[in-house]
Amino acid sequence: MILRSLTLDFFRNYPHFEGTFSPGVNVIWGENAQGKTNLLEAMAYLSTASSHRARYDKELIQFGVDHAFVKGEVETRDRTFTLEARLSRGARRQLLSNGVKLKTAGELAGVLNTVLFCPEDLWLIREGAAVRRRFLDTCICQLRPRYAEALAEYRRLYEHKTRILRDWGEHPSLLDTLDEFNLRMAQTGALIIHYRAHFIRRLGEATPAIHRDFSGGREELELGYETVSTVTDPLAQPRAILEELLAHQQSHRRAELEARQCLSGPHKDDLVVLLDGLRARQFASQGQTRTAALSLKLASREIFFQETGEWPVLLLDDVLSELDGKRQEYVLKRITNGQIFITCCEEMELSRLGDARTFHIRGGALVE
Ligand SMILES: Nc1ncnc2c1ncn2[C@@H]1O[C@H](COP(=O)(O)OP(=O)(O)OP(=O)(O)O)[C@@H](O)[C@H]1O
C-alpha cells in the first residue's frame, strides 16, 4: 500500500499543500509547531475518517475558514485509488473513493491502511482503558468495514441512551424508549465484542514473539480481553453474546436509572496486558511499558500484512527521538518493509532504510 501523493486545502495550518512521496521512507522535518503532525494526521484521516487527536472534524478545518479538503492517491492491489475528504463547518463531511461518494467511513477500509505511532502511544499500557479501546478500534475498523459501521451505530445509541438516563427524572416518558435502545445496543454490542475478541486473539499470537525478541528473551507478554462480565465466550457468535448482554443490562437496569449513566456494554472493555503474569498497567516499569506498547504497535502492523498481503503505511510521529538507542535500533530493524513517514525536528540520516525522500516543513508549507 503506497500513498503516492497528498493534497490539502485549509487543513489545520496548511492553506495548501501538495506532495508526492517515496514508496519507501519519507522524512518530514521542521521545527516545533510547523505542521509535521498535521500532515500525518491528514494521511491517517484518509484511512480511518477520524483523527487520533481531534474529537470533532471541525478542529481539522483551518481557523477562520469554513471548509477543508484532503485528497490522496493510493496504490494498492495493482490499482490506483483517489480518496477525498471534504470537511465543512456547516454540513456533513463527504468521503469519496474514485469520485464516488461513500455512505459510511467503513467503506474506506482496505483502501489505505495506516499504523500511526506517536509519543503518547508509549503510554498505551499505563493509561486508562479508553486508550487501548481506541487502539483496537482503529485497527479493526480498517480491517472490517462491518465493525466500523457497528461501532458508529453503537456510539449513536450510547449517546442517545445516556441522554435518556440523564433526563428521565424530568421527562419520565423518555423511559418508554429505553427497552428499544437496550436491545439495539446489545445487538451492536455483541458484534463489537465478537470482532474485538477475534482481533485480540490475533494480537495475542503476534505480540509475544515480538516482545520476547525485543526484551532479549527476558519477558513473557500475554494479552487478555476484559468485557461485560456475563459474557462467557467473547469469541462466540454474536447471537450467543447477545443473550448474555441482555442479561447484564437487565441486572443493571436499576443501577443505571439511579446512577443516570450507561453502565452495561462494551464501552467499558479493556485489553489486558500481562508481563510475566502480572498486569503491566500496575506493575511494569516505565521501560517495560514502552517496550510492550511498541510490541503491540509492531504486531498490529504485521496483522495488517497477514490480512491484506500488503504492508500498511507506517506513520512515525516524532517517536524515534523518544526512544533510547536500543529501542530505536530495534524499531528500525523491524520496519524495513512498506512505506514509512517519519517526522522529526532535524533532518535525519536514514539511508540504511533505503532511498529516503526529505520534506522540510515550515509554517504549514513545504520549504522548496
Ligand atoms: N485548525 C487549525 N487551523 C490553523 N492552525 C492550526 C489548527 N490546528 C492546529 N493548528 C496549528 O498547527 C500547529 C501545530 O502543528 P503540528 O501539531 O503539526 O506541529 P508539529 O510540527 O508536529 O510540532 P511538534 O514538533 O511540536 O510536534 C500549531 O501552530 C497550531 O496552532
Reported as a single tens digit per residue, the pLDDT across 4-51 is 999 999 999 999 999 999 999 999 999 999 999 999 999 999 999 999
Does any domain span residue 94? yes
**CB-based contacts of 170, cutoff 8 Å, min separation 6:** none
Of ligand 1's listed atoms, the one at least distance from the Cα of 31 is 25
- Which among 279, 308, 337 is the end of a domain? 308
Whether residue 77 sits in one domain with residue 23: yes
Does any domain span residue 352? yes
Whether residue 184 sits in one domain with residue 82: no
Identify the pLDDT of residue 353.
Answer: 65
The domain in which residue 134 lies consists of 123-308
* Pocket residues: Cβ below 6 A from ligand 1: 12-13, 30, 32-38, 59, 61-63, 318, 345
Whether residue 297 sits in one domain with residue 176: yes
Of ligand 1's listed atoms, the one at least distance from the Cα of 64 is 3
Distances in Å between the Cα of 116 and the Cα atoms of 5, 313, 365 are 18, 8, 22
Whether residue 268 sits in one domain with residue 139: yes
Does any domain span residue 91? yes
In the numeric block, which cell numbers belong to residue 322? 523518544
Whether residue 204 sits in one domain with residue 136: yes
Of ligand 1's listed atoms, the one at least distance from the Cα of 61 is 1
Does any domain span residue 182? yes
Q: How far is the CA of 40 from the centre of ligand 1 (A)?
A: 11
Model ipTM value: 0.96
Rounded to two decimals, what is the model's pTM?
A: 0.92
Does any domain span residue 180? yes
Whether residue 211 sits in one domain with residue 106: no
Does any domain span residue 21? yes
Whether residue 156 sits in one domain with residue 12: no
Residue 143: which CATH number?
1.20.1050.90
Q: How far is the CA of 13 from the centre of ligand 1 (A)?
A: 6
- Which among 308, 334, 357 is the end of a domain? 308
Whether residue 167 sits in one domain with residue 129: yes
Reported as a single tens digit per residue, the pLDDT across 227-276 is 999 999 999 999 999 999 999 999 999 999 999 999 999 999 999 999 99
Domain count, the chain: 2
Mutate to test the pocket of ligand 1, among 38, 43, 346 (most ligand atoms within 8 A of CB): 38
Low-confidence residues in the chain, pLDDT < 50:
none
Q: How far is the CA of 364 from the centre of ligand 1 (A)?
A: 8
Does any domain span residue 118? no
One-letter amino acid at 114 equals T
Identify the pLDDT of residue 50.
Answer: 93
Residue 83: which CATH number?
3.40.50.300
Dihedral angle of Cα 29, 33, 37, 43, to the nearest 10 degrees = -90
Reported as a single tens digit per residue, the pLDDT across 60-70 is 999 999 999 99
Whether residue 175 sits in one domain with residue 148: yes
Does any domain span residue 193? yes
- Write the burial class of residue 112 (CB in 10 Å: 0-12 exposed, 13-18 middle, 19+ buried): buried
Whether residue 336 sits in one domain with residue 278: no
H-type alpha helices, the chain: 36-48, 129-143, 145-167, 178-214, 238-251, 253-259, 280-283, 286-308, 325-334
- Which among 256, 278, 308 is the end of a domain? 308
Whether residue 327 sits in one domain with residue 198: no
Whether residue 57 sits in one domain with residue 185: no
What is the b/e burial string over 114-141, where b = at least 16 CB atoms within 10 angstroms of the residue's CB? Answer: bbbbbeebbebbbeeeebbbebbbbbbb
Could you give the CA distance from residue 279 to residue 285 in angstroms, rounded to a whole number? 11
